[in-house]
Amino acid sequence: MTHVVSVGSLESASPVSLSERLNTRWHERALQLFMGIVLFHWLEHIVQAYQAFILHWPRQMAMGLMGMYYPWLMRTETLHYGFAVVMLVGLWALRKGFTGRSHPWWMIAFWIQFWHHIEHGLLFYQALSHHYLFGGTVPTSIGQIWIPRIELHLFYNFIVFTPMVIAMYFHMYPSATEVPSIACSCARHRDRLIQAAA
């Protein structure tokens, strides 16, 4: 889509940026796709926890769903580092679509994920370099000094996901006064809220 501005007999087109599209007319679909990725990431961690705590597999064998079929994804830290990057990029790219009460919650999720990404970056570096931190014999993140890895990353995902859900609730069910600032189609009962605000 382009905006056409007439100047005399000349017409100049200014293209709409990808960021603008993602946060306006594509926001609802982009958010649905992003949440699908987030939920798949959750599934990976839940399967890993099931393998360790219910099936009582040794922790190094509890590799989650993808890790069972492609063990190198877990051994090289590629899978979870990839998820960490995608989540960080998604949270950043979709942030402008969140306004009013939803925006601070979305940004809380972003900043927690920023730290979570650093933790996965450390693990990824160690897996590739075989230079292990904190005297470990396997890749070890900062949080793992105090909390075992499976539990730690379940916790990280929980504290990122919770403010995301709160942000999405406020985004989908805004107050009547917040509706005019929403530029996407995510809000439920939008038309009724616009009439109430008029």
DSSP per residue, 169-184: HHHHS--TTTGGG--S
pLDDT at position 118 over 70: yes
pLDDT of the residue at 3 = 47
Cβ pair 175, 169 in contact under 8 A: no
Radius of gyration of the chain (CA): 21
86-93 mean pLDDT? 97
111 phi and psi angles, rounded to 5 deg: -70, -35
Res. 1 pLDDT band, cuts 50 70 90: very low
More confident residue, 194 or 79: 79
Cβ pair 172, 186 in contact under 8 A: yes
What are the structure tokens assigned to 21, written together?
Answer: 């599209």
Cβ pair 137, 80 in contact under 8 A: no
pLDDT of the residue at 183 = 87
Quote the mean pLDDT of the chain: 88
126-135 mean pLDDT? 92
3-30 mean pLDDT? 71
The tokens 């904190």 sit on which residue?
A: 134
60-88 mean pLDDT? 91
User: How far is it, in rounded angstroms, from Cα 126 to Cα 131?
Assistant: 5
pLDDT of the residue at 185 = 87
Strands (DSSP E) found in the chain = 2-7, 10-15
pLDDT of the residue at 6 = 42
The two counts, helices (H) then strands (E), for the chain are: 8, 2
Which tens digits make up the pLDDT trace of 164-190? 999 999 999 998 888 888 888 888 865
